[in-house]
Structures are given as structure tokens and as C-alpha cells.
Structure 1
Amino acid sequence: MNWILLIIAGLFEVAFAACLGKAKNASGNEATLWYIAFVICLVISMSLLVKVTKELPIGTAYAVWTGIGAVGTVLLGILAFKEPAGFWRLFFISTLILSIVGLKFVSN
């Protein structure tokens, strides 16, 4: 169950990064709403991370959480924000994914 919560926490990390991206291109009330969504996603993500680190090793949990956030944010940037998807960028994202999966397998 903790691994599922950790994945959800990572997805909320992607969501708060996406909110920052949307807020950057907005103004007025729309920007305020994106910043409010950012804070909500941040609180949920951090709360779940705190919860899972009571059972999972902090180093592993934090690495997986940041890895999910990094991979998810890059993929979101490519798919939603039209960022470049060059070979080396995708190659290194793939190695990050393999590292996250590897950490899961070597953790108790």
C-alpha cells in the first residue's frame, strides 16, 4: 500500500509542476487559481511522502518520489507543453525510469 501511496505522491508532484507551468502563462484570476491548485497539489504530495517514509526507507522513498516527478514532468512537458523530445532526452529519462524500478526491487 505504501508503494501505491508513493506513486500517487509522485503524480501529485507532477501536478504541482504542471500548475506552475500553467500559472506562468496565465494572468489575473486564472493565474491565482493555478497557484492555489499548485499549493493543494504540493500539500497532498508532501503529506503522502511523509506518510510513506514512516514505513519505507527515506532514501528510497525520496528517490522514487523525485524520479516519478522528474519523469512525469518531462513527459508532461513533451506531451502538453510541446517541449523537444530528442533522442538523448528520452534516453536519459529511460535510464531514470529503470533506476526507479531498480530501487523498488532492491528495497524491503
Structure 2
Amino acid sequence: MAWLFLVIASFGEIFGVMTINIYNERKSLFWLLAMIMTFGLGFYFLSLAMREIQLGTAYAIWTGLGAAGAVLMGILFFKESAGWKRMLFLSFIIAGAVGLKIMD
């Protein structure tokens, strides 16, 4: 169950970063509250995951999945570049997260 909590926490990180970008564009109370709520839920589920997963592993995977997800969201929804170098380094982040899971 801890790994599921960690994945949910990563979605909180991804959507939290996405709401920062939207808030910066629109400056509304709704998006400010959405940002606070998504990050809050992400931290909550991270804390649940860390009851069973080591701190270093949980944090590295959380930030790795969050970073990878944020890059993908930027490409899909905010017209950021998807060059081969960017995709190469994104794959390194994902490989690192997978490696940490395998070694845990």
C-alpha cells in the first residue's frame, strides 16, 4: 500500500506544479487554493508512504516521478519543447526511480 501512496503523492507533486503555472497565468483565488490543496495532499500521501518506505528512497522517487510528470505535463499542455535531449534526460530520471524501487 505504501507504494500506491507514493504514486498518489507524486501526482500531488505533478498537479501542484501544474497549478503553479496556471496560477501564474490567471492569478485567481481558485487556482491558489487548488495549488495549496494539491501540494497538501501530495505531502500527506508522502507521509503515509514514508511509514514503510525509507526516507531517501521515498523522497527520491517522489521527486523523480514529480519531475518526470511535470516535464510531460509541460510538453502536453503548455507547449514546452520535447527535444531528444530533454527526453533522454527524462528517461534517466525515470530509470533512477525504477532502480531505487528495485533496490528497496
TM-score range (shorter-chain normalised) is over 0.9
TM-score by structure 1 length? 0.93
RMSD (Å), alpha carbons: 0.7
What corresponds to 2:32 in structure 1? Answer: 35
Asked if 1:98 corresponds to 2:95, the answer is yes
Structure 1 residue 5 corresponds to structure 2 residue 44: no
Structure 1 residue 42: Cα displacement: 0.9
Amino acid across the alignment from 2:29: T
Deviating runs (4+, > 4 A) in structure 1? none
Aligned length: 104
Residues 83-94 of structure 1 mapped to structure 2, 5 A cutoff? 83-94=80-91
Matched, 1:16 2:16: yes
Q: Among all aligned residue pairs of Structure 1 and Structure 2, give the percentage whose two residues are the same amino acid.
A: 38
Q: Secondary structure at the match of 2:46?
A: helix
* Alignment correspondent of 1:74: 71
Amino acid at match of 1:59: G
For structure 1, the 5+ residue unaligned runs are none
CA distance in 2: counterparts of 1:68 and 1:45, whole angstroms = 12
Q: Using structure 2 for the length normalisation, give the TM-score.
A: 0.97
Match of 1:64 among 61, 66, 73: 61
CA distance in 2, matches of 1:90, 1:23: 26
Q: Which residue of 2 aligns with 1:54?
A: 51
> In the alignment, is the contact (CA less than 8 A) between 2:2 and 2:51 conserved in 1?
no
**CA distance in 1 between partners of 2:78 and 2:31 (Å):** 16
